[in-house]
Structures are given as structure tokens and as C-alpha cells.
Amino acid sequence: MTEQEFSHLDPGGRLRMVDVSTKESTRRVALASCLVTTGADPRATPRPDPGSDAIVTARLAGIQAAKRTSDIIPLCHPLALSHVSVDVTAHPRGYEVTAAVVCDGRTGVEMEALTACSFAALTLLSHLFEGNTGARIEDLALDRKSGGNSGDWGRNVHDDG
């Protein structure tokens, strides 16, 4: 990708929603993840069980947010997403949240996957805060993407703990 083909800045340096109308429509996939950590000694903190209502709520909040990404992130394009899934699993320091988004379209779904993760994690936080205001979200990042001119990309996912 060169700045000439795809950029948030017009020649005058001002932000715009870039013109993707001449880009090819391809299958786009993006995966993102983050941690929700409980701060103090996690063994001592009451936390929702991965199968509980609180976790289902978090996963659904992430799915709903993915569909509204362009509504909230100013320069994102409205996209007809074809798949969104969000998972929440136990992690030694709290929970790991992962999101996968698929779309056939002219621009990537990286921001949609990050938005899904972010809102699932915020929803989890809203539950944890009842007992522990020190809970936090860490390490929200893109894990993998494929499709589009810029090709495939992946990071080594976090394995701390």
C-alpha cells in the first residue's frame, strides 16, 4: 500500500474517508485479541464463570459493536460483515478475549475485529467492577489479517501469564 493509493489524508493534509470504490472486492479476515486482568491476586477475586450469563453478555456486546464500527469510528466504511464471533476464555491473570470478523469487500475488517474485542472486554469490565475497580484491559492488538492488496499479516500472540 502506498500513501497515494490509500490514505486517511487528502493532499492538503486533511482527514477524509478514503475512496475505496476502485479497489477490488476480496474476502477479508481479521483476528484481534486482548486480556482483561483482575488487578490484585486473581485467585482471590470473584469472577464470572466462562459459561455464565456475564460471559455471554460480553460476547454479544462484542458482536453488536462490530456491526456498528463505522457508526463510531469516524473514518471507517460501512461494511456488510458476513461473520463475527467473539470468545472469552479463562487466563491466569483474568480472561482472554478474541474476535474474528469476515467480510467480502473493498476494505479490511481490522478495525471491526478490534472494536468487537474492545466492547466485549469493556462489558466484562462492567461486571468485574462490581467487586474490583482495579480490573483493566491490556494488550489489545490485531493478531492476524488476510485479504486485500497489503497481503497477509500476523503477530506472535501474547503468551504471558
CA–CA gap between residue 5 and residue 88 (Å, rounded): 37
Q: Give the CA distances from residue 89 to residues 24, 71, 81, 82, 153, in Å, rounded to whole numbers and listed in that order.
A: 36, 28, 24, 24, 24
Exactly one of 31, 97, 109, 135 binds its own copies (CB under 8 A); that residue is: 135
Exactly one of 31, 34, 97, 109 binds its own copies (CB under 8 A); that residue is: 34
- Burial classification of residue 46, based on how many CB atoms lie within 10 Å of its CB (0-12 exposed, 13-18 middle, 19 or more buried): exposed
Can residue 7 be called a binding residue for its own copies (CB under 8 A)?
Answer: yes
* Residues 57 to 116 in contact with its own copies, rule: CB under 8 A: 57, 59-61, 63-65, 67-68, 70-87, 102-106, 110-111, 114-115
CB of 92 to its own copies, least distance (A): 18
CB of 58 to its own copies, least distance (A): 9
> Could you give the count of Cα atoms lying within 13 Å of 72 in the half-sphere of its Cβ?
13
Can residue 149 be called a binding residue for its own copies (CB under 8 A)?
Answer: no
